Amino acid sequence: MDESLKSEGRSAAASFYTCFLEYGHLIKQMLEVACHGQPTTRTHETFALLNEELARERGFVAGVLALPECALDGLPAAAYADFVVCLHAQRAHIATLQQRSSAEELELVCPGWTPNAELEAVQQRLLRTFDVVGVRAAFSLDTWWAFTTAHIEQMKELLCRLHALAAQHAAMMNASRNASAVSLASAVSASRSDSAGSAMGCGEAAGLARPCSAGSAMASGEAAGLVHSVVVALARPAAAEPEAELATLWEGFSAAPAEVIKEQMLALLRRRMAPRRSAADDRSAATMASLSAQARSSYDESLVPESWRVPLSELAFVHQIGHGSTGTCYRAQWRGSSTVAVKVAHGGSESSWRSELSFLARLRHPHVVQLLGAVFSPPTYCLVLEFCDGGDLHDALQQPTPPGFVMRVARGVASGMAYLHSRGVLHRDLKSANVLLDRHRQPKVTDFGTATDGVTNAQARRRGGALTAETGTYRWMAPEVINHEHYSRPADVFSFAMLLFELLSHEMPFADLPPVLAASATALERRRPRLPEGTPVAVARLMEQCWEAEPTDRPTFEVIEQALVQTANSLSTAEHAWLDAENGHPVTAKASGAGRTRGEPPMAAGSPQQDVQGLASNSKRMRTMNPTV
């Protein structure tokens, strides 16, 4: 290509990216103006932010389609990073809407995050490979602009309906306040009349009748109306309560003849008015929520020391390499030279991101994936990790494996896990999909999203509780975890036994069963996967020790690591050859295809599992009826 054309292409790409950034700023300013002074809710604000990110996506892809082909290579690396952040910010906003919207709001906004198939296809294609050339071949600029604009117009219509819903709620609150004010005025008027009529022995103070005893109280119906007015006022958000009406309530109760009611209600009103008096110039509730969010972000920012922070501008995303329950991983170039993996947290997975960051930041071991840095750009959170170009162990087992692979991976994982336990870390989701392989096929334990401090059962009991049950992935989960019993480090040892089974068979544990039935087989029936025929005796013995039903009967990882070294030295030539079979030794019929499916996503700590909630109680009943179970 002519050098002048290359130069023009780079210039066009740089100009486009500058315009794209300005476009994003303009959209943000327009959003702020549109929302100013309007009735708003948290759902409305989040939905508006989602619409903003959709508009940014439209602008980016439209620019890519409009650029000449010679300019595509000149797009700054930050452009793709911004696009990834844009799409993951959409997911974060959708997660917030799903978690925090009322049923009425959720039904209204749900169509906003279900775009047409063409839009979804473009998003997935660009997220996986950033294949802008392929997108250009599939879509014209006019086509892209047409269906994204239609989707954004639908979003705008939904925003208007959210405006109307917020205004409707505000009107209902005003009507309720007016009704309360009328009820209060009637009750106070009746109270003064009654007090004036029974003034024997009573004095006047500040022009208001004062009762001499509780016996001169207003009629019960009137008292009930007065109390109802206060309850209605107290049920509303503090920021929505007009100061004048609070003052009216205060005055009315000051003049009320029922001393007991008065004292109780005044105490409540004092607590209600205290924040108002100390923050009379506070802005709207939406602004306060925004300030609160900023405060939380400031607090979260302290979790990422300056030495660990990586600006997004230093990362050039190449393509997607993995996708899990808490994040999506990308291959990326860092500062133009180092190849790294970037794990972008999914919306709603910020706590998992914080947990993984806190653990990885203190871990350094040849068989544990290394943290290189972190991106803190709310609502986008990323981990920058060492890149393992061998992929994960689960995928490697779907292909022929080289000689020595089984024992090398087993020893490496045992070494990494021994280190984790020595540092007080309980992994809780050890499986083949969470073991990466570097270019030399050396394993590295990864994914600490469900990890926790590796306390013992005794320590957990002293703290007044136990570790969260049903955390991990069912096929690899220890029976004590499934049964909601106390568990600690031996639970990881049980999962390691299941990983050994994968190494031998090249298939998942209980591949012929659904995940829940696999858990039931492990916890209730005390079944274990059938070992492949010909498994070396020493290997079989170690596996059986690791998956013992009683946690205290399982060896530690230090013992396992030593046993694997001894086993490797003691195996015969025939046994080594058996272990080196490139396709493993499957135990499930291949016709079902069960052994070739991807591992299930892990159960988040504390996540409700309605379909297996009876496993623990059933297990306890079985042990009660038959102590040998």
Q: Which residue has the tokens 């950034």?
A: 21
Query: In this structure, are 513 and 462 located in the same domain?
Result: yes
Give the pLDDT score at 529. 95
- Partnered with residue 309 across adjacent β-strands are 374
Q: Which two tokens stand for residue 619?
A: 């297990």
Give the domain-ending residue among 85, 108, 139: 139
Give the pLDDT score at 551. 95
Q: Which two tokens stand for residue 209?
A: 């009748």
Say if 210 falls within a structural domain: no
Question: Distance between CA atoms of 41 and 23, rounded to whole angstroms?
Answer: 26
Give the domain-ending residue among 139, 165, 193: 139
Say if 483 falls within a structural domain: yes
Give the strand order in the sheet containing 315-323: 315-323, 327-334, 338-345, 380-386, 371-377
8 A C-beta contact, residue 370 and residue 364: yes
> Nearest-CA neighbor of 616 among 452, 487, 451?
487
Question: Total domain count for the chain?
Answer: 3
Please write the tens of the pLDDT for every residue from 304-319.
677 788 988 888 888 8
Say if 243 falls within a structural domain: no
Give the domain-ending residue among 111, 139, 167: 139
Secondary structure of residue 66 in the 3-state scheme: helix
> Nearest-CA neighbor of 301 among 380, 377, 382?
377
Query: In this structure, are 379 and 419 located in the same domain?
Result: no
Say if 281 falls within a structural domain: no
Query: In this structure, are 413 and 347 located in the same domain?
Result: no
Q: How many CB atoms lie within 10 A of CB 614?
A: 11
CA angle 232, 233, 236 (to 5 degrees): 90
Q: Which two tokens stand for residue 592?
A: 């079902």
Query: In this structure, are 345 and 417 located in the same domain?
Result: no
Of the candidates 429, 512, 580, 611, the residue annotated as catalytic is 429
Say if 11 falls within a structural domain: yes
Give the pLDDT score at 180. 59
CA 545 to chain centre: 36
Question: Distance between CA atoms of 280 and 260, rounded to whole angstroms?
Answer: 30
Give the pLDDT score at 567. 96
CATH of residue 376: 3.30.200.20
Please write the tens of the pLDDT for every residue from 385-424.
999 999 999 999 999 999 999 999 999 999 999 999 999 9
Query: In this structure, are 371 and 460 located in the same domain?
Result: no
Query: In this structure, are 425 and 532 located in the same domain?
Result: yes
Per-residue exposure over 189-225, b if at least 16 CB sit within 10 Å of its own CB, e if not: ebbbebbeebeeebeeeeeebbbeeeebbbeeebbeb
Query: In this structure, are 127 and 17 located in the same domain?
Result: yes
Query: In this structure, are 381 and 417 located in the same domain?
Result: no
Say if 156 falls within a structural domain: no
Give the pLDDT score at 203. 40
> Nearest-CA neighbor of 54 among 105, 142, 101, 116?
116
Give the pLDDT score at 42. 74
12: left (phi over 0), alpha (psi -120 to 50) or beta: alpha
Give the pLDDT score at 473. 86
Average pLDDT, the chain: 74
8 A C-beta contact, residue 557 and residue 418: yes
Known catalytic residue: 395? no
Query: In this structure, are 398 and 546 located in the same domain?
Result: yes
Query: In this structure, are 48 and 73 located in the same domain?
Result: yes
Say if 287 falls within a structural domain: no
Please write the tens of the pLDDT for every residue from 201-250.
434 333 333 333 333 444 444 544 555 555 556 555 555 556 666 666 66
Say if 286 falls within a structural domain: no
Q: Which of 6-20, 45-59, 108-122, 369-383 has the highest mean pLDDT?
A: 369-383
> Residue 346: pLDDT above 50?
yes
Query: In this structure, are 435 and 327 located in the same domain?
Result: no
CATH of residue 531: 1.10.510.10
Q: What is the pTM of this model?
A: 0.63
> Between 627 and 494, whose confidence is greater?
494
Query: In this structure, are 382 and 359 located in the same domain?
Result: yes
Q: Which domain holds residue 500?
A: 393-625
